[in-house]
């Protein structure tokens, strides 16, 4: 009889222990589910923000490039800007792929240029990337930050180049008068 009572008490004690343990685990699971939902909502908001940011930066870059294309320049600079235009026209695609996975800058750029022709990519690499060591370093990073900085550096480089050409043209016309 005592043995039956002991076994029953032990069974009740173990049942209560597992019940309380299950309640604690269930509470933990519910809090983790809430955190997961919250993290998913934040992720969705951040994804939309990054997409919006990419499209805004793309628009700004396109406007800056259009301003460069509208300025008076030599044929070599026009050709180089035409190659940069292909890169900037595909900004959002490259931005997204570089953001998702590291090491996608080269492959995505090549893919975007191959839509035009394979010679365009080779020309882009030879005429623009190989010219400047800073541009080469940004290109070599082959990642998201490198891509954003590369586009900015290219635009700044050509803006300063065209501005210095305009100043030189202006100074030669004033000295010749």
Residue-wise pLDDT tens digits, 77-128:
888 888 889 889 888 888 888 888 888 888 888 888 888 776 788 888 888 8
Under the banding of pLDDT at 50, 70 and 90, the label for residue 31 is very high
- The average pLDDT across 2-6 equals 89
Domain around 112:
48-176
Scan for tokens 């997409």, then name that residue: 51
Assigned domain for 11 exists:
no
Q: Rounded distance, CA 60 to CA 51, Å?
A: 14
**Highest mean pLDDT out of 34-43, 119-128, 134-143:** 34-43
Assigned domain for 166 exists:
yes
Top-confidence residue, 31 or 132: 31
Assigned domain for 17 exists:
no
Top-confidence residue, 151 or 171: 151
Number of domains composing the chain: 1
Q: Where are the alpha helices (DSSP H) in the chain?
A: 2-70, 75-89, 91-100, 105-114, 118-124, 133-141, 144-176
- What token pair was written down for 119? 């010679």
Assigned domain for 3 exists:
no
Query: Which residues are within 8 A (CB) of 141 and not within 5 positions of it... i.e. 6 or more apart?
Result: 105, 149
CB atoms within 10 A of CB 84: 22
Assigned domain for 72 exists:
yes
pLDDT at 177 over 60: no
pTM for the model: 0.72
């Amino acid at each position: 009889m005592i043995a039956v009572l002991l076994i029953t008490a032990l069974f009740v004690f173990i049942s209560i222990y597992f019940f309380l343990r299950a309640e604690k685990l269930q509470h933990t699971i519910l809090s983790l589910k809430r955190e997961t939902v919250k993290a998913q909502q934040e992720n969705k908001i951040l994804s939309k923000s990054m997409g919006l940011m990419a499209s805004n930066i793309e628009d700004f870059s396109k406007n800056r490039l259009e301003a460069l294309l509208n300025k008076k320049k030599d044929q070599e600079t026009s050709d180089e800007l035409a190659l940069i235009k292909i890169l900037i026209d595909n900004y959002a695609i490259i931005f997204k792929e570089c953001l998702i996975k590291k090491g996608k800058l080269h492959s995505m750029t090549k893919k975007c240029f191959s839509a035009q022709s394979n010679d365009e990519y080779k020309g882009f690499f030879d005429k623009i990337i190989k010219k400047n060591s800073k541009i080469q370093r940004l290109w070599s990073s082959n990642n998201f930050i490198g891509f954003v900085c590369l586009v900015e550096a290219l635009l700044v480089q050509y803006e300063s180049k065209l501005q210095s050409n305009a100043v030189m043209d202006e100074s030669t016309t004033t000295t010749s008068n």
